[in-house]
Homo-oligomer: A and B are copies of this chain.
Amino acid sequence: MNRRGATIRQVAAAAGVSVATVSRAIENPKIVAPETQSRVQRAIQELGYVPNAQSQILRTSRTRLVVALVPDIANPFFSEVIRGIEQVANANRYSVLLGDTQYDSAREQGYISMIAARQADGVVSLVPRIPKELAQSQSRFPFVNACEYVPDANVTSLYVDNVAGAMKATSHLITLGHRRIAHIRGPMTSQICVDRQKGYEQALRRARISVNKSLISAGDFTVESGIRATGELLSRGEELTAIFCANDDMAFGAMQALRARKLDVPTDVSVVGFDDIRYSRHFHPALTTVAQPKFELGRSAMAALLEIFADANALPYKRVFATELVVRDSTGPWREIIGPKPVRKSV
């Protein structure tokens, strides 16, 4: 039964009052007589009473629990966003339940169903997909999308201007004199990757450099995929002097693959990432990348969810944050090559 802890009934008996009075003494101390209050407090102390949250929830139907849906908990990018979420959640007496979906929709669904079972009040999703439940208006629940977004979905979403961020990265390379700039993109199921590629192409066109599809290769956000994509790029025989990667992990992979082929970064090839995770500044060479306001994104997302809790009819909105290009050591000027071109068919 109730192995640990006393119940409100026992406290009431010990204090010689009704359970109603105990409940009031805890929730709304001002409305009980001071003398009663102290009797109740003493009983609480003696019995080590802690209210059973489940019972409170059942009565009030608020779990004070929020689920954070994260595609990959092992990516430090998300850790920082989560920290932001936790900070404002805790400040508002909410706890966050972390769901690592590993980009798998079944695991995603498992966590979403906790909402249906009323085990959590709402969700902050960092995943590029909207749960189907949100489509049916009768089963709507408090939901906020952060970092990722779905273009036509009518849900509050907070993310960065990915097109502009990618343009900054690419323009930086162009300014350095690069013309043959490759792109390692992320999965196209993620709108932000579509946007980043768009920004890349836009910057190229603006500089009157034609977009060459052979200079674009696909990854899936992992370091390993960055290694593979770079290998592909090089084996296609296209010359390239710079690579813009859709995230930092893939940029690490690109640098590793380049190094394995005795190509120096940035002397032979410049590399730019996206996200600015905490290892980027420590890598060698330190990575030039497009920084997202990770912590702030998390904070704002949780704040948005809180707003929805406060007003279920609040209108969904999109909030777009700016990025910042952080120039470090992985990018350098394009240099006139004496002798062989930096990268050729048979590297």
* Contact with A83, one of B73, B99, B111, B119 (Cβ below 8 angstroms): B73
Complex Cα distance, B246 from A60, in Å, reads: 48
Report the 3 A-B pairs with minimum CB-CB distance, sorted nearest first.
A98-B98, A74-B79, A53-B117
Q: Given A48-B139, A98-B97, A283-B284, A2 and B61 touching (CB < 8 A)?
A: yes
Instruction: Chain B residues near A3: list those with CB within 8 A.
Output: 312
Within 8 A of B (CB), among A96-132: 96-100, 107, 110-111, 113-114, 116-119
Contact B118 A53 (CB under 8 A): yes
Interface status of A138 (Cβ within 8 A of chain B): yes
In this complex, how many residues of chain A approach chain B with their Cβ under 8 Å: the count is 57
Interface status of A259 (Cβ within 8 A of chain B): yes
Contact A4 B252 (CB under 8 A): no
Chain A 277-320 interface 0/1 with B at a Cβ cutoff of 8 Å (1 = within): 01100111000000000000000000000000000100000000
A-B contact pairs, 15 of them (CB 8 A): A4-B138, A4-B139, A5-B116, A54-B57, A55-B58, A65-B97, A74-B80, A83-B100, A95-B99, A96-B98, A223-B279, A223-B282, A256-B282, A256-B284, A283-B284
Chain A 142-165 interface 0/1 with B at a Cβ cutoff of 8 Å (1 = within): 000000000000000000000000
* Contact with A116, one of B50, B139, B283 (Cβ below 8 angstroms): B50
Contact B90 A110 (CB under 8 A): yes
Chain A 246-259 interface 0/1 with B at a Cβ cutoff of 8 Å (1 = within): 00000011011001
Closest Cβ of chain B: how far from A312's Cβ, in Å? 8
Closest Cβ of chain B: how far from A203's Cβ, in Å? 28
Instruction: Chain B residues near A63: list those with CB within 8 A.
Output: 54
Complex Cα distance, B284 from A253, in Å, reads: 11
Instruction: Chain B residues near A210: list those with CB within 8 A.
Output: none
* Contact with A53, one of B97, B119, B259, B312 (Cβ below 8 angstroms): B119
Instruction: Chain B residues near A97: list those with CB within 8 A.
Output: 65, 95-98
Complex Cα distance, B96 from A61, in Å, reads: 21
Interface status of A338 (Cβ within 8 A of chain B): no
Complex Cα distance, B259 from A79, in Å, reads: 28
Instruction: Chain B residues near A96: list those with CB within 8 A.
Output: 97-98
Identify the closest chain B residue to A223 (Cβ): B282
Query: Knowing that A90-B110, A96-B98, A283-B283 are A-B contacts, what are 13 other residue pairs whose CB atoms are under 8 Å apart, sorted by A's residue number?
Result: A48-B139, A50-B116, A53-B114, A54-B63, A54-B118, A65-B119, A73-B83, A90-B107, A95-B99, A95-B114, A96-B97, A223-B282, A284-B284
